[in-house]
A and B are shown apart, each in its own frame.
Chain A
Amino acid sequence: MAIFNLKKREIECKIVYYGPGRGGKTTNLEYIFKTFRKQITGEMVSINTEGDRTLFFDFLPMGLGKIKGCEIKVQLYTVPGQVQYSSTRKLVLRGVDGIVFVADSLEVRREKNMLSLKDLQSNLKEYGLNIFKVPLVLQYNKRDLGEQGIPMMSIEQMDRDMNRQLKVPSFPGSALKGDGVGVALKECMKLTLKSLQKELKWAQ
């Protein structure tokens, strides 16, 4: 849940990058940190473990400036994707305002994508949130690996697998190259702010 400081006319919201382990959530944040320097308001914090896997979370603070008279601050988080860190994922998700779900385009990760999306749904439910109502975008990451002749899922297949019912904006991407990173984040922010505007009515 975003924090709306009426006195300072400041809104602080939380966007979480969710998805299966090794899918590219941290790489998304690293690219954002490198590229959107103007909007970054602090250091990126990563707590990794063996094999560069996220152990707790990554954190990156951003400032979007004033929108309709309100200073907008955004906190970006990633969750640890590995199955065993379920309770950490749940904790990081608490108070979420928007989600970028980073799915892996490799065919071998098809099931893991779907399990992670299901995990997201059940964790949101525990916080009383509905996956169909929360601001959400999908990023189909690692599209660049298709060039190496590795079996990949088509965008259509990924949409069928994950987005048939959700019907949320989806973007092909390569977090390593930066493709689809900015556009997914911007869309997520747009949806999040729209939802907060409706909820907090700050712009009326």
Chain B
Amino acid sequence: MGDKENIKRLLQEAELYQGQGLLSEARLKYDAASDLIKNNPRIKNKEKLLAGLAKKINLLEVDSQKVERGPSSPELSHRAQDLIQKLFSFSKEESEEEAALEGALALAKFGQFERALAEFNQLIANETHRLVAAKNILRCHIALDSEEFAGDKYEEWAKSDMFTHDQLKTLRVFMEQVLESKGVDRKLTVVGVKAEAVVEEKKEEEFIDISSIGIYLDSGPGKGKVVEFDVNFQSGNLLSLIISKKDGTMVEHLAIDNKLEDLQFYSPIAIFNGSGVVAAKSEIKSGPKQGDYCLDIKITST
């Protein structure tokens, strides 16, 4: 096949992929066609052709960015919210209260914070679910209003007799993690515990839930890229990732104690940057994940 036929075929493929919404595949084909045009001295109107292709690539780029950014959580109709609540209340046959909690959690998960907030505010009256509801009320306020507003809500609860000291401690630690991650310098009221003990307790308490992590690679085959991995297990500020052998080359150069300065953390309530250190790295030697890597990253700052 001559270059002309090749170019024609590449463009045809690119257009089809674009039509299918396969934007990165379309981009690769346009790039390949551009390269062929550039490198073939016999093609006439080269500049015009390349300009036309550059325009197509630009448009593709705009579309890709729109998709990547996407609307994280559009506000849905009341009907759609009802449906979410109904469909994701898995325990409806066993316990109505449990089902109500599941429904509210699903609403929050799907970014329907205002409706979720209304549901959690009802659930807080139920002693069994009070703590979970309260934590999620704070989450919703963080998403809808601000960390400060959520902090005020905590202070309101700290003054009331709605929660036990242990429950307030859990809520305070949770809020402090959020405030710290957002760089908000605010001290929350410690109820029933001596202030000196707080720092030590915080270390033992939970860290904000992180679902995935983006690592900027400053060396190795993926240099300059940000690779994203799901967090398989989290214990406080220690994240464990299983990296498939296919992606192994990406992290091969990472060694224990390596500092990772440019990390992106994705949590259900926020995306934030920070740094960490490689705490452990090992290859899985047996079982279905044999050959995959297990990488532990300790978050040092956010």
Contacts and interface: CB of A to CB of B under 8 A. Distances in A.
Interface of A: 3, 5, 21-22, 45, 47, 49-53, 55-56, 59, 75, 82-83, 86-88, 91, 94-95, 106, 108-109, 118, 142, 145, 148-151
Contacts of B71: 49-50, 55
Contact of A56 (B90, B110, B212): B110
A119 to B, nearest CB: 9
Which label, helix, strand, loop or mixed, suits the secondary structure of the A interface?
mixed
A22 B23 CA distance: 10
Interface of B: 9, 12-13, 16-17, 20-23, 25, 28, 63, 66-67, 69-71, 74, 76, 80, 83-84, 87-88, 90, 93, 106, 109-110, 211-212, 228, 230, 244, 268
Given A49-B74, A51-B63, A106 B87 contact: no
Contacts of A94: 88, 90
B16 A22 contact: no
Contact of B211 (A21, A86, A149): A86
Nearest to B71: A49
Given A75-B87, A148-B12, 15 more contacts: A5-B93, A45-B80, A49-B71, A51-B63, A55-B71, A56-B84, A86-B212, A86-B230, A87-B211, A88-B109, A91-B109, A95-B90, A108-B17, A148-B16, A151-B13
Nearest to A83: B228
Contacts of A151: 13
5 contacts: A22-B20, A45-B83, A49-B70, A49-B71, A149-B12
Contacts of A75: 87
B93 A3 contact: yes
B80 A108 contact: no
Contacts of B74: 47, 49, 55
B106 A47 contact: no
Contacts of B69: 50
B66 A145 contact: no
A5 B92 CA distance: 12
Contacts of A3: 93
Contacts of A22: 20-22
Residue from A50, A82, A88 having most chain B Cβ neighbours under 10 A: A50
Nearest to B268: A87
A109 B21 CA distance: 12
A118 B244 CA distance: 11
A55 B109 CA distance: 12
Contact of B109 (A59, A82, A87, A108): A87
B22 A106 contact: yes
B16 A145 contact: yes
B78 to A, nearest CB: 13
Nearest to A148: B16
A103 to B, nearest CB: 14
Given A88-B110, A91-B106, A47 B67 contact: no
A91 B88 contact: yes
A53 B76 CA distance: 16
A82 B22 CA distance: 11
A125 to B, nearest CB: 9
Contacts of B22: 22, 106, 108-109
A31 B28 CA distance: 31
Contacts of B13: 150-151
Contacts of B28: 108
**Closest 10 A-B residue pairs measured CB to CB?**
A22-B21, A108-B25, A50-B66, A49-B70, A50-B67, A51-B67, A50-B70, A51-B21, A56-B110, A150-B16
A149 B9 CA distance: 9
A33 B13 CA distance: 31
